[in-house]
């Protein structure tokens, strides 16, 4: 099968995905109970598969571009993840199914190579009796490349592909990139159409914790980037990581901080508790029959007037096609969680005091006004020591699609500064 790739700039990604070594993966890579699968699908334009590696095909970077996925399972919650590594030896095949049966634990009964002495493993992801920097029961990332976890928002058409420009850019810069479809969004199928509890903020946050612990870089070269609703998941994840770090640092001398930086795009104070209460009174049937109106309203708010119209029309079409609004309603209902409401409390923010934080906001954001984002940033800056707030010009709420080049360069600058801060800290501790 031949597809013209002349217009794709991401040659390293093309080469890696078409590598002849893609199928030469040892069975040891599936020690976490994973299985290999690939399901084919067809459309009127071209024949492709859920796994482009298996087919030897890289799709063009058009609006309908889709990355290959891995299946990640936690407590029967099946999520699809984009996992793009800059180097592929000794890493899992993109079709691999990773089965994580409970909150951050893996059945290691058949694994003889998990740490010294066969120590018991804890839900936090660390091995008993050894340094957690060298023995993480969930970490299969043997790469020396820094790792970025991108978390999308909870809007009608949100999915992993909203980060496509960042995935390609940072892959070519030598980063490993992890982008999950939040449960119920993108290709992560809603498992129980009659339940909203599966979208509770604590459940979604536990999903992100498990994903982070599984894919994180062992040397602590990790970044978390969240957009819109994903900002709250990113903040909650960072607070979990840093609070865990404080505890483990006391018992493990020299324990490496597992997170270098946190970035949010379009974040504000957690919405008032009355927002989910109002949503609770809206039946799903009303949301469904109002989907054209809601889609037009949502798209008009998240894209600036100068945004490329083909992108806007594509996102509008995807919103029209969405028939199940339960995930969207579910994430709003989940905001009643105490964990969600306390994210911006001073004690929770102070946990992030030693973490570089970059709060970005679209200058023309019509969904969450820039003034609201600035007010939240000031609150974070009062509680932390390394927080920066910046406006992104010529964009509304979806900066990663509206101004991808500007965003990519700003993220790259921030990541570089985080690395410099880490190196300076290491030198200071050695003196």
Q: How far apart are CA 129 and CA 117, in angstroms?
A: 9
Instruction: Single out the residue of 173, 172, 165, 258 nearest to residue 215, CA to CA.
Output: 258
> 103 with 74: CB under 8 angstroms?
yes
Does the predicted TM-score (pTM) go above 0.85? Answer: no
CATH architecture of the domain with range 11-430? 3-Layer(aba) Sandwich (3.40)
**Which one is predicted more confidently, 174 or 284?**
174
pLDDT at 327 over 60: yes
Tell me the DSSP string of 188-209: S--S-TT-SGGG-HHHHHHHHH
Tell me the DSSP string of 220-267: S-EEEEEETHHHHHHHHHHHHHHHHHHHHHHHSTTPPPS--EEEEES-
User: What's the gap between Cα 233 and its chain centre?
Assistant: 9
Instruction: Single out the residue of 287, 356, 294 nearest to residue 323, CA to CA.
Output: 287
Nearest-10 Cα torsion for 188, 259, 144, 122: -70
**pLDDT-derived band of residue 35, with 50, 70 and 90 as boundaries?**
very low
Dump pLDDT digits (tens) for 363-419: 999 999 999 999 999 999 999 999 999 999 999 999 999 999 999 999 999 999 998
Length of the chain counted residue by residue: 431
The pLDDT of residue 189? 80
**Which one is predicted more confidently, 120 or 192?**
192
Dump pLDDT digits (tens) for 142-165: 567 899 999 999 998 899 999 999
Delimit the domains of the chain by residue range.
11-430
Q: How far apart are CA 384 and CA 386, in angstroms?
A: 6
What is the chain's mean pLDDT, rounded?
A: 75
The pLDDT of residue 180? 97
């Amino acid at each position: 099968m031949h597809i013209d790739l002349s217009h794709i700039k991401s040659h390293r990604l093309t080469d890696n995905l078409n590598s002849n070594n893609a199928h030469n993966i040892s069975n040891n890579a599936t020690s976490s109970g994973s299985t290999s699968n690939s399901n084919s699908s067809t459309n009127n334009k071209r024949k492709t598969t859920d796994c482009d590696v298996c087919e030897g095909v890289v799709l063009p970077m058009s609006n309908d571009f889709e990355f290959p996925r891995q299946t990640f399972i936690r407590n029967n919650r099946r999520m699809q993840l984009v996992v793009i590594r800059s180097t592929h030896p000794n890493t899992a095949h993109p079709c691999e199914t990773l089965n994580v049966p409970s909150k951050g634990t893996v059945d290691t009964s058949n694994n003889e190579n998990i740490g010294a002495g066969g120590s018991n493993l804890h839900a936090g992801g660390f091995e008993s009796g050894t340094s957690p920097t060298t023995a993480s029961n969930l970490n299969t990332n043997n790469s020396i490349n820094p790792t970025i976890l991108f978390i999308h928002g909870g809007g009608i058409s949100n999915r992993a592909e909203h980060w496509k420009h960042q995935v390609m850019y940072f892959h070519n810069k030598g980063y490993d990139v992890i982008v999950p479809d939040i449960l119920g969004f993108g290709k992560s199928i809603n498992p129980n159409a009659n339940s909203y509890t599966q979208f509770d903020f604590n459940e979604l946050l536990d999903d992100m914790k498990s994903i982070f612990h599984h894919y994180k870089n062992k040397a602590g070269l990790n970044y978390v980037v969240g957009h819109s609703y994903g900002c709250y998941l990113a903040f909650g994840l960072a607070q979990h990581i840093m609070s865990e770090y404080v505890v483990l640092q006391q018992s493990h001398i020299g324990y490496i901080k597992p997170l270098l930086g946190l970035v949010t795009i379009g974040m504000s104070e957690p919405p008032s508790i009355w927002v989910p209460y109002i949503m609770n009174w809206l039946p799903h049937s009303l949301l469904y029959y109002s989907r054209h109106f809601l889609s037009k309203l949502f798209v008009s708010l998240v894209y600036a007037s100068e945004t490329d119209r083909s992108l806007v029309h594509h996102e509008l079409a995807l919103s029209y096609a969405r028939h199940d609004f339960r995930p969207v309603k579910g994430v709003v209902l989940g905001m009643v969680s105490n964990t969600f409401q306390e994210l911006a409390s001073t004690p929770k923010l102070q946990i992030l005091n030693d973490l570089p934080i970059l709060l970005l906001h679209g200058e023309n954001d019509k969904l969450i006004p820039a003034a609201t984002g600035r007010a939240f940033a000031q609150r974070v800056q009062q509680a932390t020591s390394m927080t920066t707030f910046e406006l992104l010009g010529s964009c509304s709420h979806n900066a990663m699609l509206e101004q991808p080049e500007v965003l990519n360069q700003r993220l790259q600058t921030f990541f570089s500064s985080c690395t410099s801060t880490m190196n300076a800290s290491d030198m200071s501790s050695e003196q």
